[in-house]
Chain A
Amino acid sequence: MLKLDNISKKLGNFNLAEVTMEIRKGEYYVLLGRSGSGKTQLLELIAGLNDPDSGKIWLDNEDITTKKIQERNIGLVFQDYAIFPNLTVFGNIAYSLHCRNTDKEVIKNEVTRIAKELNICHLLNRFTNNLSGGELQRVALARTLITSPRLLLLDEPLASIDASLKDDIKRTFRQLNRKGLTIVHVTHDYSEAVSLATRIGVIHNGRIVQEGLPDDVFGKPVNRFVARYAGIRNFFRVKFRNEGRSWKAECNGNLVLNLSEGKYPEEGLIIIRSNAISIFKADPSNEAGNCFRGVVKELSPSEQGMELLVEAGEMFYVDVPMNDFKKLQITEASDVWISFPAEACTALPGGG
């Protein structure tokens, strides 16, 4: 469907570097990255708003690298919607049809049809100044969908929308995708990516650093940046050593972690999910895994219950369900034991 082949673009001090990716027909591809990572620039290159310095862009096996923006038939919904403030909602949605000199009656029918689909019929005669974020988003979507694009590009489409409306808009995106529309969605929000994507690409400093199914990307992050996106907060730089049949990871001489079987380099980075660590008031004697005594330094509420910062040779973030937290009666400065299986320690290739 869409293929980017070694795309590079210099924009001031920022470089998109040798971006190669392929998006298959019908996919919901989410490009995840921080602001300033090059996501929007990449979308603008695909849409044709900018030309790449080198590389090729293919759409349905056609080289569109130098094709005029008006002839690409790629829909782009801007982050702030870019609704024309001098036109009514009807005028905005009908804009592309006016460009094609479509018959007035056809324009009216088409605009009404798409407005019905997106539940914005009641807004058609209004100017856009006082519309809510969710309404503007639907207008922007209708204005783009009326062109029947081959590919829909969404630039941070949920960034300016109230949390209560996000689910509605997400549902709309999913429905569009189910109907066969290929979507490339750019965001900095991990949960947005996980809830929508059929495939994810993580972009960092103008490069795609990891690509794959959501479970693969966040289950096996290739570096610290991707791991952070997956909500992992325990990172330890370690030296690996083999002791007979088992592997150990030594962390700054303070701590030795037991690892599962496998192949490890001399040095690297170990990550441990904070919800993979259990907490106890007494020694649980987990000899096969990892068990350390520590002191609670900080408590802060988290999505799952309570996040504890425990000093146990190194600083560990531990997510504790609220029920367990209440049962254990943990407070700041409590003496605790943390325990996690060897399998919870994941070594990052290349050390992150």
Chain B
Amino acid sequence: MSRNTPFTWILLILSSLVLLFILAPLAGMFLHTGGSELLETVNDQEVRASIWLTIWVAFAATFFFAIGAIPLAWLLARKKFPMKNIVQGIIDLPVVLPHTAAGIAVLGFISRDGLLGKVANSVGLTLINNPAGIALAMAFVSIPFLINSARDGFTAVPERLEKAALSLGASRTRVFFTISLPLAWRSIMTGFVMMFARGMSEFGAVVIVAYHPMVAPVLIYERFSSFGLKYARPASVLFIIVALAVFILLRLIAVRKKETHIVPDAEA
């Protein structure tokens, strides 16, 4: 675009409005939060504990569910099987559900009368109001992000590279770990970060499964409903700063992996 036509100007104005819509509330919140208020919140043990809980539970949920989600993503990318479209639809279901409804569904599953709840109870574990329950609620609403991103990553790995590895004597397992997984790694990491970020920010499903221990979104809501906007704001700002820092760190780790140029099958 060497010359800005009226059409380009319209595009620029509309794009700026959308960006402003995202940035304005955040900027307002940051500007209304004074340094002393923020420092006080940093020293607030309850706030620190809830942010730490949010981060490690979201990370644990993402990590453990990735163990099953990545093979499922490979199957979706590589294999043809009956009702594959239905399976894909089921995976996307949590994205379209209202999150409180998702929370109710998870609660039913992990309560003492629920299938998983009974199993947990038999080993003396109560999932409700427990970090494990929070992790399940977070994973339920965020796992589609990992599966879909990893599936796209595996789809982009040319099948002929896997075939070449097989013809060189590699087992299917070795091909998966030495060729498919490393080449789909960037997409998998993107999905991992997205699932983690989505899990960390979840409120609706988590609040139904566990009001206590409080994850950061629940704590912010509690401060807002009990003390008002002024008291909720510093906690929100701190959570956003920490979440952004973790998000950027994970993205950096994901991007640091060496760039590899993959020629898709269609071009080959």
Contacts and interface: CB of A to CB of B under 8 A. Distances in A.
Contacts of B80: none
Contacts of B171: 70, 99
B261 A99 contact: no
Interface string B157-196: 0101101111111110010001100110000000000000
Contacts of B167: 47-49, 69, 74-76
**Interface footprint category on A:** 20 to 34
B183 A144 contact: no
B268 A80 contact: yes
A198 interface: no
Given A69-B167, A99-B170, A143-B168, A85 B260 contact: yes
A82 B166 CA distance: 12
Contacts of B256: none
Contact of B170 (A75, A85, A95): A95
A160 to B, nearest CB: 9
A144 B261 contact: no
A86 interface: yes
Contacts of A112: none
A290 to B, nearest CB: 48
B119 to A, nearest CB: 39
B245 interface: no
Nearest to A144: B168
B79 interface: no
A275 interface: no
Contacts of B262: 85
B3 interface: no
A147 B165 CA distance: 12
Contacts of A74: 167
A153 to B, nearest CB: 9
A239 to B, nearest CB: 48
Interface of A: 44, 47-49, 69-70, 74-76, 78-80, 82, 84-86, 95-96, 99-100, 127, 129, 143-144, 147
Interface of B: 158, 160-161, 163-171, 174, 178-179, 182-183, 258, 260-263, 267-268
29 contacts: A44-B163, A47-B167, A48-B167, A49-B163, A69-B166, A70-B169, A70-B170, A70-B171, A76-B164, A78-B160, A78-B164, A79-B268, A80-B160, A80-B263, A80-B268, A82-B158, A82-B161, A84-B161, A84-B178, A85-B261, A85-B262, A86-B179, A86-B182, A95-B178, A96-B168, A99-B168, A99-B169, A100-B169, A147-B168
